[in-house]
């Protein structure tokens, strides 16, 4: 904190500090030209985009003739050249040739992604700068007469320019391209072709009355039906806002309740004195979970040391526990029933569909989750079995407050525990209690009066 304050003082004292100075990045509103690589332009848009160097060859990243190995990055395969020591020759092995082709295709895939990025940056007009080297390809006549082979030949392209010119030939633009490179500008349905001659400064202006016609494929009826069905689907307004997973403890949280935790900069002794609220409650719950009740009843201090040595509680948590309150619990009537029980469950977790809880029909909670897969989750602190049914015990460590307030706040939570445990265990849960550690008090919850 002190370092941060000194940093703010430094900014206040130095008028030239640029840390919080507003920047003025170049935008499309400035009368300027931005020159960027395709990678740098990713995610940006400009009114006009010129893509240059489309004739750059892909082969510059291919292995050189002297390279003796090719490594496939994804699979870890290695392709080597074979050395013929008698004839002083290096021969490509099958693995070398195969991996060389794979690498070439991978690089071309990346180049195609770059071309896509570059061609989608323009907001108004896109300018593709080509030169007549693309007209030397032997594939042009084949593509013009058999346009369906264009996708097959795409992997043989040596530059981005090849892809663009080959595509234009495959869609019937061959005549226009030939006229363009012979010195005549043309306007077709796809684009305005402009010829620039650095010697004569010849430029053909497009016909202002010519409107570009962008060819569009007819939509597939089956696909359109699926899309319309998905777009027209409407969620049930009530269920759309319901959480799919509901925690039982959320039932007891007051609206706008704020949990305050101790700051980290407290000293060790301060933490021991100030461990309260959620931190103290967590320590008591962990202690009750891992403690052997019979041993704790006989020697509480020794049992706390044992669970600390096992790593169940930290030394700070053990020192912060009020042992006099814990000893009172082992003298309570509810503990006598626990010690006499034939079966005790600690930290019993529940995960169950809300629709399976058999809540009353008048419950709004039940109506909201009817015929849904919404689940409720939680953890019961302690369950013990008696001959006529199960009993739930919930630990509370809240700051001192009246018993009526505790019952009002937590009864619904205990009621949901009862409904869930009856469904999970297949036996009745006859009673539910709150043990209030702060006041050494056992409160019985009237399960028959709970409003769900």
Per-residue pLDDT, averaged over 101-119, amounts to 86
pLDDT digits (tens, 9 = 90+) for 176-220: 778 777 766 666 767 777 766 666 554 555 555 555 556 677 889
Mean pLDDT lowest among 127-141, 262-276, 328-342: 262-276
The pLDDT-based confidence of 74 (bands split at 50, 70, 90) is low
For residue 338, the model assigns a pLDDT of 94
pLDDT digits (tens, 9 = 90+) for 95-107: 777 777 777 788 8
Determine phi and psi for 409, rounding to 5 degrees.
Answer: -80, -35
Per-residue pLDDT, averaged over 428-439, amounts to 92
Q: Which residues pair with 71 in a beta bridge?
A: 78
Buried b / exposed e over 266-293, threshold 16 CB at 10 Å, is eeeeebeeebeeebbeebbbbbbebbeb
Contacts (Cβ under 8 Å, ≥6 apart) of 139? 153, 156, 166
Which range is most confident: 103-112, 127-136, 166-175, 443-452? 443-452
User: Which residues of 280-415 form beta strands (DSSP E)?
Assistant: 344-353, 375-386, 389-396
Mean pLDDT of the chain: 80
For residue 134, the model assigns a pLDDT of 72
Determine phi and psi for 82, rounding to 5 degrees.
Answer: -90, 130
For residue 30, the model assigns a pLDDT of 61
Which range is most confident: 129-133, 262-266, 270-274? 129-133
The pLDDT-based confidence of 435 (bands split at 50, 70, 90) is very high
Contacts (Cβ under 8 Å, ≥6 apart) of 65? none
């Amino acid at each position: 904190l002190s370092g941060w304050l000194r940093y703010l003082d430094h900014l206040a004292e130095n008028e030239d500090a640029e840390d919080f100075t507003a920047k003025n990045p170049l935008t499309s509103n400035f009368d300027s030209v931005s020159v960027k690589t395709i990678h740098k332009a990713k995610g940006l848009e400009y009114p006009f985009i010129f893509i240059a160097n489309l004739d750059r060859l892909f082969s510059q990243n291919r292995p050189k003739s002297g390279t003796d190995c090719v490594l496939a990055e994804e699979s870890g395969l290695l392709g080597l050249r074979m050395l013929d020591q008698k004839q002083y020759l290096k021969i490509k092995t099958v693995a070398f040739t195969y991996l060389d082709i794979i690498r070439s295709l991978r690089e071309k895939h990346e180049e195609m992604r770059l071309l896509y990025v570059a061609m989608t940056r323009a907001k108004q007009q896109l300018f593709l700068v080509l030169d007549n080297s693309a007209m030397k390809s032997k594939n042009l006549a084949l593509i013009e007469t058999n346009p369906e082979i264009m996708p097959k030949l795409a992997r043989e392209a040596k530059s981005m320019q090849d892809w663009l010119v080959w595509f234009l030939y495959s869609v019937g633009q061959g005549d226009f391209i030939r006229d363009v490179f012979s010195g005549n500008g043309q306007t077709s349905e796809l684009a305005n072709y402009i010829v620039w001659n650095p010697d004569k400064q010849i430029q053909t202006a497009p016909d202002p009355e010519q409107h570009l016609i962008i060819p569009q494929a007819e939509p597939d009826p089956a696909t359109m039906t699926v899309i319309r069905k998905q777009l027209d689907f409407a969620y049930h307004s009530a269920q759309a806002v319901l959480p799919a997973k509901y925690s039982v403890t959320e039932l007891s949280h007051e609206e706008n309740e704020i949990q305050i935790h101790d700051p980290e900069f407290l000293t060790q002794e301060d933490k021991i004195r100030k461990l309260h609220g959620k931190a103290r409650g967590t320590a008591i719950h962990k202690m009750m979970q891992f403690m052997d009740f019979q041993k704790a009843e006989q020697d509480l201090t020794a049992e706390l040391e044992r669970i600390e040595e096992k790593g169940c509680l930290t030394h700070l948590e053990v020192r912060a526990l009020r042992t006099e309150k814990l000893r009172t619990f082992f003298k309570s009537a509810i503990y006598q029933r626990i010690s006499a029980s034939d079966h005790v469950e600690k930290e019993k977790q529940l995960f169950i569909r809300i629709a399976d809880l058999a809540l009353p029909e008048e419950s709004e909670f039940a109506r909201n989750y009817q015929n849904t897969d919404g689940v409720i989750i939680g953890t019961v602190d302690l369950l013990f079995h008696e001959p006529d049914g199960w009993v739930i015990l919930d630990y509370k460590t809240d700051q001192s407050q009246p018993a009526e307030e505790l019952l009002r706040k937590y009864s619904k939570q205990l009621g949901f525990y009862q409904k869930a445990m009856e469904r999970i265990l297949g036996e009745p849960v006859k009673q539910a209690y709150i043990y209030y550690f702060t006041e050494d008090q056992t409160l019985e919850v009237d399960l028959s009066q709970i409003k769900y």
